[in-house]
Chains A and B, each alone.
Chain A
Amino acid sequence: MTLNNFMRVALIKAISLILVLLGVSFLTFLLYYYAPGDKALAIANARYIGEGSASVELVEQIRLETGIDRPFFVQFYYWALDLIQLDFGVSLISQEPVSEIFISQLQETMELAVLSLLIGMSLALPLSLISVWKPKSFIDRFAIALSSIGAAIPSYWLGLIFIFVFAAKLQWVPAYGTGSLAHLILPASTLGLWVLTSQTRLIRSFLLEASAAPFLEALKIRGVGPKELFCRHIVRHAFVPFITMLGLDLAYLLEGAVIVEVVFARGGIGSLLVHSVMSRDFPIIQCIVIFSAVTYVTINSAVEIFQWFINPVSR
């Protein structure tokens, strides 16, 4: 019965997931299709750099080859067919396969994301726990101030300040570039601070919400001590929303990575995206956009299924 029910929920989720993915790819293609400028000319110019403007014949040849003149839905069909096979084509600039470029850059972004998540969470968890355990204490006030100021700090500015203080003045770590762990410290701290502030705010609010739950009164009357109440009941109760939001925040970490990578002149998906957009390298742009959207949608669905298992109310 329950499994049958689960299959039905899963089927509905799967159908809506497919619809959303279709919508995502459609929107991506729509943007490409209506982008201003002659795409055939752009490809021709990109392929044969240094020969000045490409000849008319060449442009015509590329036009035929890529089928840029065909109607919208025909183009979309072939494009989507390639997409399903995970074939994103070759970069317009370097002529290398998009997937290879993408995967090599993904690694750097993952390093940054994982380290900043570690930094952020290892501080956010104790901070928010103490903040709720001892309300109105110094730590609590600090957590509140940190989360409201942190939400207002522009991360690119914070990155510049970090570079100025720790790399230029104190000269503890190198400012720009990739390579060693030392290169990673400043970018990861910048992104980690964002994780810290947003997670502190969230975990704190989940814990506060959990500690206002009516069943706690009944436990108090039964003589459950405050320590046990907090550790066993409140924390456990706040766990489900915490996991839910953590999943969604992971997807948004990518967004934070874009700016941090550009500020610290690192490689990675973010700077790849910015450079591709500047040079109008459409295959790479499409790959990154679809990757980020699919990541978000997949995490979202996974979180929903997780919630279904954890929380009997949502069944």
Chain B
Amino acid sequence: MNLFSFNYLSFQKCTLAQKYALALYIQTQTVFKKHSFFLLFFGLLIGLVLLGFAMTPYDPVETNFLNRLSSPSWKNWFGTDQMGRDIATRILYGAGWSVGLALIVSTAGAVIGMIIGLLAGSLGRFVDGFCMRMTDSFFAFPELIAAIVITGVLGPNTVNMVIALILVSWMRFARLVRALTGDIKQRDYVVQAKLNKLPYYLILSRHYLPNIILSVVVIWTSSWSRTILSISGLSFLGFGVQPPQAEWGAMLLDGKPYMLTAPHVMIFPGIAVLVTVLILNLMGDHFRDHLQSSEK
């Protein structure tokens, strides 16, 4: 059966397996049409990064003093740093640090914020008051200042940085989820579910969660990109991922003394941060537009 030219009659004649295959094909096609730009872009990017991992002959931390601070060339696309390490390779590995850690932080923040927001919005006034005053208290500290202080006091390393960033990132989610939940609580379908004596956990999982999750995803992508900026910023200040690990901010911190003689040491990691955050922001905008148009 030709997938590209089918009509209803031939669909009737299909076997069950073919029908499933066709349904799957149509579904992926509609998803692809809606989000084609991003799927292409994202796929290309992930492909490039993976290809880079496979192709690069260099190690991200192994030093080679014979080849220090060499300018970009065909051998080292983005040049080498003060210890002769290939910057392109380090940026590839740095993607794992920045994007991966930020993913952990924003996901953990989303989960904590959702739990607190759901409790505050769906339970009584006392729980609500307590949770929201707590959220306000955490919110009062500017994100970066709080993160610097927490990592600095606990001891500057990657784990403490992740803890600190989770502590400063959950409030956004809590506020959003609290607002959405408070709204849903008044809806007739929740009232109906209560009249039908559904237990609290089922009302949460069937009525509250499915109706807030899309909005949470939008905030989650923006939190993801913010966290990438925070991680590299903290590492640049010396509070995050420590050199010689190939984190983008740590690379900048490392290369700062050499930037006048070998500017490529600091230019490329910065561009990596910029491009990654830009892509994630665009993805978030795209999700938000999609959500808004689906709500109308």
Contact = CB atoms under 8 A, between A and B. Distances in A.
Residues of B contacting A: mostly:
helix
Given A151-B281, A160-B266, A297 B140 contact: yes
Contacts of B23: none
Contacts of B149: 31, 273, 277, 285, 289
B104 interface: no
Contacts of A20: 133, 136-137, 140
A296 B140 contact: yes
A152 B281 contact: yes
Contacts of B46: none
Given A23-B134, A152-B225, A164-B260, A255 B281 contact: no
Given A252-B142, A254-B145, A258-B144, A154 B153 contact: no
A19 interface: yes
B142 A292 contact: yes
B148 A161 contact: no
Contacts of A160: 252, 256, 259, 266, 270
B274 interface: yes
B180 interface: no
Size bracket of the B interface? 35 or more
Contacts of A273: 145, 148-149
B150 interface: yes
B263 interface: yes
A27 interface: yes
B229 interface: yes
Interface string B225-253: 10001001100111100000000010010
A251 interface: yes
A122 interface: no
Nearest to A19: B133
A157 interface: yes
B143 A255 contact: yes
A24 B259 contact: no
Size bracket of the A interface? 35 or more
Given A252-B142, A259-B233, A289-B145, A278 B152 contact: yes
A156 interface: yes
B32 interface: no
Residues of A contacting B: mostly:
helix
Contacts of A155: 233
B287 interface: no
Interface string B138-168: 1111111110111011110000000000000
Interface in A145-173: 148-149, 151-158, 160-161, 163-164, 168
Contacts of A16: 133, 136
B259 to A, nearest CB: 6
B277 interface: yes
B269 to A, nearest CB: 8
B282 interface: yes
Contacts of A148: 278, 281-282, 285
A155 to B, nearest CB: 8
Interface in B260-274: 260, 263, 266-267, 269-270, 273-274
A250 to B, nearest CB: 11
Given A151-B281, A154-B232, A259-B237, A35 B154 contact: yes
Nearest to B255: A160
Given A20-B136, A156-B233, A280 B260 contact: no
A149 B274 contact: yes
B274 A277 contact: no
B128 to A, nearest CB: 12
A265 B261 CA distance: 19
A193 to B, nearest CB: 13
A139 interface: no
Nearest to A300: B140
A158 B282 CA distance: 21
A202 interface: no
Interface of B: 133-134, 136-146, 148-150, 152-155, 225, 229, 232-233, 236-239, 249, 252, 256, 259-260, 263, 266-267, 269-270, 273-275, 277-278, 281-282, 285
Interface of A: 16, 19-20, 23-24, 26-27, 31-32, 35-36, 148-149, 151-158, 160-161, 163-164, 168, 251-252, 254-255, 258-259, 262, 273-274, 277-278, 280, 285, 288-289, 292-294, 296-297
6 contacts: A36-B154, A151-B281, A258-B144, A273-B148, A274-B148, A277-B148
